[in-house]
């Protein structure tokens, strides 16, 4: 009897212990995420739910400490992990271990035309975000390049929706492999910084679906992005962070997005619309706790106490808060509650190597008359380096993408390191911009120069006159009114009298190489006065090393332009039709579908440099394109192959581009549109057959009267070339 009692007691104790050690469903990662979400939701109070949908600090939102659900911590991207800031301020927190690796701007990534580089970029920056315990990276940006004056174009991926789509997917996937959510931004139609908080965009549905939405759609449906950030501007009269059409109808309804929608900082303007129109998390709303008499100003956010009051009064159905919290919990379970989340790494040599590789592949050789480049170091005694951008830090400034970089190799230092003592490198300022301003407590090295333009020009010409090569390193910078968030450029030309300086240098030396640092196209009135022009974008920590490797030929340039360089602003549809930047905060995209090269080809306008253009230190010849059949069945595909040969004496990479044109359509269409591309690596004398597939999806356009994508039977032409304007081969086929 006594033994039996002991056994019963033991079994009872064991049962209690098992019950005590059994995890709640929401903490059991062996259970399906949707089951865990519902379990966690059922355990939360109304107050806890509301706290999750709005910020608690500048870059974080609350978890539920009682249940062990962690906070969400965001970091600005998309070019590096932002330094830590104070809890409720933009200024630096003063940490000594938050200096990141600065990666090239996204214009440079797009210019690689290499999805493998996008995957490397996403993997590397995702590792940095994870190491800093951020579970949401605020990037990448994929707004379309509509005007070269947009101050934020450098954060985006160019003018073509197909190119941006192919580059954003591997970036998103690379980030999220680290247990960090990519937050693709700014959804949508955020194509200018002028009046960005007020402007209402009117655009026809065809342009919306064919030009401005595809990259977002690819990020969601192919990349499986876990979060999306709304934009500041309005569409159909509603602010886009609380826009029923974009967030409910398209993002969730048509694309099936199941992630969290995050507001841009200060992008929410109305409690009711924020409740019902698809927003999940509110950040950066201006609050004033003192005048409101509240100890915590975050409680006065649109989705804070005002939302809670409506829920408690019964005026809002509790399902509205549950919808938002489900999406946030899904984000949490995918990121900082995933036990298999890797630990990440930060500012490592491997990340520096990745940054340099991306930079090298993105640099674009625009012009190279008489094969001035690469620099022949064995026959060079003196190189003159001219220009402020040769010594100016480019990682600080520009708005939310400003970085506290672990290091930044300037172009001048990169060139000096490359040539060593064998070649004399002499620097002259040439021009001077405005004094460097602080951003968020970060200050670049002070390079103020108060000499007159005449003095600077005279010195530059003296230094340049006797040099074997003159490297003019100029372009734009990250100051307000150039490549920077919050304001657009005032003109297409270069600032600080650079155009005049370049012409002066060309008069004293025939070997002037113009190196442009920018995220936008610039006018080049001196284009016929210099033999070589290089577009280098903003290259991040490894800027100088990457540039030096390309200029000296250790790396053969292989980047191509992700947007068109116009001769003048009137060659751009947004400016020719007179609607930019809008009137009374209303702007209509009169050019519709015809953005970038589509506009040029429709109107037979010759650009300064076409979309897809980029030269090499070797030469590539294209053979005749061969298509597998002359007709495409509605449910099948065709294969097109084109032989490409490296006929030069250096190994190099060529980007083979495939465009398709519809010979006759019921609705107006561009002359041709990019539908595929391949980056192929060829040794000297090597030839490869580059293969493409063409399916019915490649032929479709958006019929706004039917609200669907359709392909009409008829004749189509495939154009294969080295740029949108350099077509090497064409072939026709028919859709039955």
- Active site (catalytic) residues: 264
Say how far apart CA 215 and CA 582 lie, in whole Å: 25
The secondary structure of 336-375, three-state, reads CCCCCCCCCCCCCHHHHHHHHHHHHHHCEEEEEHHHCCCC
Report which of 296, 544, 522 is spatially closest to residue 408, judged by C-alpha positions: 544
- Compute the CA torsion angle 20, 26, 27, 32 (nearest 10 deg): 120
Are 120 and 357 a contacting pair, CB within 8 Å?
yes
**Nearest alpha carbon to residue 266 among 362, 340, 198:** 198
C-beta separation of 553 from 546 below 8 A: no
Rounded to an integer, what is the distance from CA 401 to the centroid of its chain? 11
Is the Cα torsion angle 240, 242, 247, 253 positive or negative in sign?
negative
Tokens coding 483: 């490549």
Helix, strand or coil, per DSSP, at residue 592: coil
Tokens at residue 412, please? Answer: 């001048």
Give the contacts of 148 (CB within 8 A, at least 6 positions apart): 489, 492, 520, 521, 522, 563, 565, 566, 569, 572
Q: Whose CA is closest to 419, among 350, 464, 364, 468?
A: 468
Q: Are residues 282 and 263 in contact, defined by beta-carbon separation less than 8 angstroms?
A: yes
Distance, in Å, from the CA atom of 545 to the CA atom of 413, rounded to the nearest integer, reads 8
Cα 507 from Cα 504, distance rounded (Å)? 5
Secondary structure of the chain: what % helix, strand, coil (to 5)? Answer: 35, 20, 45
Nearest C-alpha neighbor of 644 from the set 722, 731, 719 = 722
Q: Within the chain, what is the greatest distance between any pair of CA atoms? A: 112
- Measured CA to CA, the distance from residue 46 to residue 511 in angstroms comes to 71
Distance CA 119, CA 126 (A): 10
* Helix and strand element counts for the chain (H, E): 19, 27
């Amino acid at each position: 009897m006594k033994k039996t009692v002991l056994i019963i007691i033991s079994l009872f104790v064991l049962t209690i212990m098992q019950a005590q050690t059994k995890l709640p469903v929401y903490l059991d990662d062996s259970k399906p995420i949707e089951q865990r979400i519902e379990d966690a939701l059922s355990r939360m109070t109304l107050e806890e739910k509301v706290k999750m949908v709005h910020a608690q600090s500048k870059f974080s939102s609350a978890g539920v400490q009682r249940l062990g659900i962690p906070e969400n911590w965001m970091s600005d991207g998309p070019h590096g992990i932002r330094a830590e800031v104070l809890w409720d301020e933009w200024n630096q927190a003063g940490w000594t271990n938050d200096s990141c690796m600065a990666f090239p701007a996204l214009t440079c990534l797009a210019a690689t035309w290499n999805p493998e580089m996008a995957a490397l970029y996403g993997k590397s920056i995702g590792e940095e975000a994870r190491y800093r315990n951020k579970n949401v990276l605020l990037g990448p940006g994929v707004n379309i390049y509509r005007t070269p004056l947009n101050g934020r174009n450098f954060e985006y991926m160019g003018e073509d929706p197909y190119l941006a789509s192919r580059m954003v997917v591997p970036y998103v996937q690379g980030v999220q492999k680290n247990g960090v959510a990519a937050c693709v931004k700014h959804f949508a139609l955020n194509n200018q910084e002028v009046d960005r908080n007020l402007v209402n965009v009117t655009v026809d549905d065809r342009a919306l679906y064919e030009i401005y939405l595809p990259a977002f759609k690819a990020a969601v449906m192919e990349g499986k992005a876990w979060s999306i950030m709304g934009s500041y501007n309005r569409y159909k009269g509603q602010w886009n962070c609380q826009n029923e059409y974009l967030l409910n109808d398209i993002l969730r309804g048509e694309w099936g997005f199941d992630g969290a929608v995050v507001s841009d900082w200060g992008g929410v303007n109305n409690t009711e619309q924020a409740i019902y129109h698809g927003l999940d998390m509110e950040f950066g709303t201006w609050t004033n706790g003192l005048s409101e008499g509240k100890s915590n100003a975050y409680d006065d956010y649109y989705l804070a106490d005002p939302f809670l009051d409506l829920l408690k009064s019964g005026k809002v159905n509790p399902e509205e808060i549950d919808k938002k919290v489900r999406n946030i919990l899904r984000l949490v379970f995918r990121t900082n509650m995933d036990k298999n989340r890797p630990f990440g790494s930060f500012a490592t040599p491997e990340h520096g190597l990745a940054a340099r590789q991306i930079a090298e592949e993105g640099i674009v050789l625009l012009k190279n008359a008489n094969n001035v480049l690469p620099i022949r170091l064995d026959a060079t005694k003196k190189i003159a380096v001219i220009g402020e951008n040769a010594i100016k830090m480019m990682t600080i400034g520009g708005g939310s993408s400003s970085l506290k970089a672990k290091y930044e190799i300037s172009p001048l230092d990169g060139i000096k390191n490359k040539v060593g003592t064998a070649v004399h490198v002499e620097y002259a300022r040439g021009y001077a911009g405005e004094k460097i301003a602080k951003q968020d407590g970060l200050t670049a090295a002070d390079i103020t120069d108060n000499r007159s333009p005449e003095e600077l020009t005279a010195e530059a010409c003296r230094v340049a006159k006797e040099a074997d090569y003159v490297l003019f390193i100029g372009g734009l910078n990250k100051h307000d009114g150039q490549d920077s968030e919050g304001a657009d450029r005032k003109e297409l030309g270069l600032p600080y009298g650079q155009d005049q300086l370049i012409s002066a240098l060309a008069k004293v030396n025939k070997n002037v190489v113009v190196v442009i640092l920018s995220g936008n196209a610039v006018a080049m009135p001196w284009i016929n006065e210099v033999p070589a022009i290089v577009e280098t974008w903003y290259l991040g920590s490894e800027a100088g090393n990457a540039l030096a490797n390309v200029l000296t030929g250790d790396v053969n340039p292989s980047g191509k332009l992700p947007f068109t360089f116009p001769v003048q602003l009137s060659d751009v549809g947004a400016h020719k039709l007179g609607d930019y930047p809008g009137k009374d905060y209303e702007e209509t995209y009169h050019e519709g579908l015809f953005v970038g090269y589509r506009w040029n080809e429709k109107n037979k306008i010759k650009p300064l440099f076409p979309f897809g253009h980029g030269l090499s230190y070797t030469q590539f010849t294209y053979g005749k394109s061969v298509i597998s059949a002359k007709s495409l069945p509605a449910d099948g595909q065709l294969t097109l192959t084109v032989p490409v040969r490296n006929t030069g004496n250096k190994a190099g990479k060529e980007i083979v581009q495939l465009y398709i044109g519809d010979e006759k359509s019921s609705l107006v269409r561009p002359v041709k549109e990019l539908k595929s591309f391949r980056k192929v690596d060829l040794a000297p004398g090597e030839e490869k057959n580059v293969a493409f597939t063409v399916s019915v999806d490649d032929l479709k356009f958006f019929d706004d009267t039917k609200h669907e994508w359709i392909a009409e039977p008829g004749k189509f032409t495939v154009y294969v070339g080295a740029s949108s304007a350099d077509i090497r081969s064409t072939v026709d086929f028919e859709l039955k």
